[in-house]
Every structure is written in C-alpha cells, then in structure tokens.
Amino acid sequence: MPDVHHRYATVQGQRLFYREAGPLDGPAVVLLHGYPTSSHMFRHLIPHLADRYHVIAPDHLGFGLSDAPSADEFDYTFDALADLTAGLLDQLGVPRYAVYVQDYGAPIAWRLALRDRDALTAIVTQNGNAYDEGFVPEFWQPIWAYHAEQNAETEAPVREALTEEAIRWQYVSGVPDASLVSPDTWRHDHRYISRPGNDEVQLKLFLDYATNPPMYPALHEYLRDTQVPVLAVWGENDPIFGPDGARAFARDVDDAEIHLLDGGHFLLESKFDEAAKLIHDFLDKHR
C-alpha cells in the first residue's frame, strides 16, 4: 500500500494540514472535502489513487487539523478558502490537476476553475453541487431563511447543524444499511466542529454559501466552453444535494459520466468499492 504523508504548510500566515501520497511526478489529483469533515473522509481513497497519481488532500481552514482562527481574526468566505487552496497548490508546484469535490469542496473548486480556466484537467463530483436543481428544499429552507435575515430565530436551526446528532444524520441518512457507517466518522467531525469559537466560523460559512448559486451561470459557461471531463458519482438518496444535481452536469458537458449509487451524502463510507473503481477508471481514461 502506498505511503500517505501527513504534512503542514503555512499559506498566507495560516497553517494548513494536508495528506499527500503517490509519485510526485504523477498526474495530480486534489481532494476537497465538505462540511463538517476534513481530509479524514479520504483516508481510504488516498492510497487507492496513489498507485499512479500524486494525491493531495488539504483540510480547509477551520476544519480538521488546519488552523482555526476565530471569525473575528479571519474573514471566512469561500473566496478566502479558495485563495488558501490555490496558495497551497502553488507552494507544492501543482499548476494543473484533476479535482474531487464533495459539498463545500465544490464551490471552492468552482472558484479555482473560473480563476484559471486551464487548471482543472478533470472533475469528479461526489454530491458536490453546481446547479439549482441539486438543492433539496426541505434541507435548505432554514439556511435560505438565514441568508435572508440574520436573527436569533433564523440562527437557531442553522446552529442545529453543528450538533453531533445532526452530523450523524448527514452520514447515515439515505444509507440502506447504516451499520456500514462507522460512528467514528461523525464523532471525529463533531470534535473539531466543537472547538471553542468554531461555531461562529461555521455560521459565517453557512451565511457565505449565499454567494455560490450566483456563480453557477459562469461555471456552466466554463463547462460548456472547456468540456472538461466530468464524473458525477452521487449518493442518489442524499437529503442535501439530490440526484438532479448530478444529472444536470450532462447539460453542459457532452460526455459527462453520471452514476447514481444507492447511498447518501458521504458515499465513500458505504459504497467505497463501487465509487472508487468508477473514480480510478475515469481518471485513468482522462489522465
């Protein structure tokens, strides 16, 4: 099994943790995690891809083992997280790469793509949304209400997302056999999300999510113009980003591969073998 290195880099004065594996001269694959997890979600995928790919999986600022300055000390936005990701890749000498996105990783990657249209060699999106059709209204209504007005009433349901039970729900909802999902996953995430002051960090990012849908038309134009290869490998029972979000990629990318698997938001926890083979085969095809 390939060695996986656990490293830190200082980018714009912030200490970022990242996992790295595989040949340094191999095609680069960057794995971008979502809320509320970290590069820990890729602990099995990294060695699977590192047989021939240079794999890099950072923890976003405020998540996992990366620094987590308070919301007063750092302006947490998706623009800022994209800046840090770009800075890390620049330090590592990685100008072109395939990207795997999930949840929050998607709007970070979309910003990177729109800033440098030649950077992305391929996109793997695992419940990483890019279309209005992907939003499941039942989940998003409280967040949209918080976007519209910030007060104690609208903040309360958003804060519920920070609880261990809500994080557990993200992991097991839509999974046919929830016993396949280790409780270590949501307890690991909850531990880091619960650091003092991190609640305000997460509220800031929930609020800034409002900046992502207005970016979609420019992203769709980018996809149509570049025809960058896209694999959507999606948990079709995800209660956050539904399967229509996966199907929509085929509108803009002629040869987009769409695979809906019987799983939820964190597909790698219950359908790893099936998803990993699709990802590896796709990257091999477009390396």
Q: How far is CA 100 from the centre of its chain?
A: 7
Nearest 10 degrees: CA dihedral of 238, 242, 247, 251? -140
Cβ–Cβ < 8 Å for 2, 72: no
First to last CA, the chain: 21
**Nearest of 282, 280, 213, 275 to residue 253 by alpha carbon:** 282
Q: Rounded to an integer, what distance in angstroms lies between the CA atom of residue 285 and that of residue 4?
A: 24
Instruction: Give me the residue label for tokens 């729900």.
Output: 169
- pTM here? 0.98
CA triple 98-104-105, angle to 5 deg: 10
pLDDT in tens, the chain (287 residues): 899 999 999 999 999 999 999 999 999 999 999 999 999 999 999 999 999 999 999 999 999 999 999 999 999 999 999 999 999 999 999 999 999 999 999 999 999 999 999 999 999 999 999 999 999 999 999 999 999 999 999 999 999 999 999 999 999 999 999 999 999 999 999 999 999 999 999 999 999 999 999 999 999 999 999 999 999 999 999 999 999 999 999 999 999 999 999 999 999 999 999 999 999 999 999 98
Q: Which residues are catalytic?
A: 265
